[in-house]
């Protein structure tokens, strides 16, 4: 195995440029608000997940999977994808409206999760101020077809440009609706139980203070960054002033995160990937 393998993307990719942004923590939450509007996707999560009792554990596992596909070696990414496909292949859920049982690895559901996730990453990064050309935007969506393949999708069936993503949303929107499960999930996402260490003061009867308000601010920003049609489905107005406020807030958050030293924001997978890239660059120069 090549010890300097750069994985599916590498330092010259748009994917690395986008995923270097710490602001993507907001994007991940945005994608969850969006995904909840698909009744079958929501049923699949509700009937097969312990997200209410292990919300933060699930978030960490999801973030680790994404980081592995983006920054891991090719073997790391392929193994992570294989584990995910095996897990999904075993799971079933029941459509609450029709009573029909369906597979969690239904390509239509996998595609919905993939598109909402990558579109959230890209749109959040751009609205936060990351400069990307139109060609880079299309390049990101095309690159992310590799991640879609890991989840079990045929890359040819996955939107690979901004125009294709817009068309995908146009086609899928009639399937979306506000359900009780979507509403409950949105409430949960907005005010979940804090991790044990952060929740300890409240358990002791002390004022929780900043952690709760900080999270509420991030959740509110993520919700405001939703497409206007999605906010309207949740009961929001979707007015331009809301979008302007969201843009200003997410840009401020990006600036604040930019002041934090990178070593505190980059996990071991990112650090290892950059070390491999540096070794390969040094070898190329020496050669």
Residue 71, CA distances (Å) to 5, 28, 74, 269 in order: 10, 17, 9, 6
Range(s) of the domain holding residue 120: 14-197+210-281
pLDDT above 70 (res 196)? no
CA 161 to chain centre: 18
In a domain, 189, yes or no: yes
Tokens 């030293």 belong to residue: 261
**Is 184 part of any domain?**
yes
Q: Give me the pLDDT at residue 52, please.
A: 75
Give a yes or no: residue 5 inside a domain.
Answer: no
Please give the model's pTM, rounded to 2 decimal places. 0.91
In this predicted structure, the answer to whether residue 155 has a pLDDT above a threshold of 70 is yes
Rounded distance, CA 266 to CA 271, Å?
A: 7
Domain assignment of residue 120, yes or no: yes
The burial class, CB within 10 Å (0-12 / 13-18 / 19+), for 178 is middle
Residue 117 resides in a domain = yes
Say if residue 208's pLDDT is above 50: no
Following CA atoms 212, 55, 130, 162 in sequence, which dihedral angle do they give, to the nearest 10 degrees? -140
Q: Given this model, what pLDDT does residue 204 score?
A: 37
Asked if 5 contacts 271 with a C-beta cutoff of 8 angstroms, the reply is no
Q: Which of 26-30, 59-63, 189-193 has the lowest mean pLDDT?
A: 189-193
Residue 101's beta-bridge partner residues? 94
Number of domains in the chain: 1
Is 236 domain-assigned? yes
């Amino acid at each position: 195995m090549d010890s300097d393998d750069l994985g599916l993307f590498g330092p010259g990719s748009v994917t690395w440029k986008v995923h270097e942004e710490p602001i993507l923590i907001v994007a991940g939450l945005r994608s969850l608000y969006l995904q909840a509007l698909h009744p079958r996707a929501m049923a699949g999560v509700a009937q097969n997940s312990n997200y209410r009792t292990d919300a933060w554990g699930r978030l960490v596992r999801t973030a680790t999977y994404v980081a592995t596909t983006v920054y891991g070696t090719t073997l790391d990414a392929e193994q992570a994808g294989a584990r995910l496909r095996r897990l999904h292949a075993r799971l079933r859920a029941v459509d609450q409206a029709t009573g029909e049982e369906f597979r969690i690895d239904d390509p239509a559901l996998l595609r919905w999760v993939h598109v909402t996730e990558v579109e959230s990453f890209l749109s959040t990064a751009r609205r936060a101020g990351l400069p990307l050309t139109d060609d880079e935007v299309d390049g990101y969506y095309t690159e992310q077809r590799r991640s879609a393949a890991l989840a079990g999708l045929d890359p040819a069936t996955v939107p690979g440009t901004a125009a294709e993503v817009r068309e995908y949303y146009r086609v899928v929107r009639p399937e979306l609706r506000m359900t009780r499960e979507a509403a409950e999930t949105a409430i949960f996402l907005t005010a979940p139980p804090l991790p044990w260490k952060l929740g300890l003061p409240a358990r002791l009867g002390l004022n929780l203070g900043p952690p709760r308000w900080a999270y509420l601010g991030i959740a509110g920003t993520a919700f405001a960054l939703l497409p206007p049609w999605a906010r309207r489905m949740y009961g929001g107005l979707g007015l331009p002033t809301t979008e302007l406020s969201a843009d200003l807030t997410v840009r401020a958050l990006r600036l604040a995160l930019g002041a934090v030293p990178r070593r505190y924001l980059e996990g071991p997978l990112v650090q290892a990937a950059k070390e491999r890239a540096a070794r390969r660059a040094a070898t190329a120069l020496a050669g």
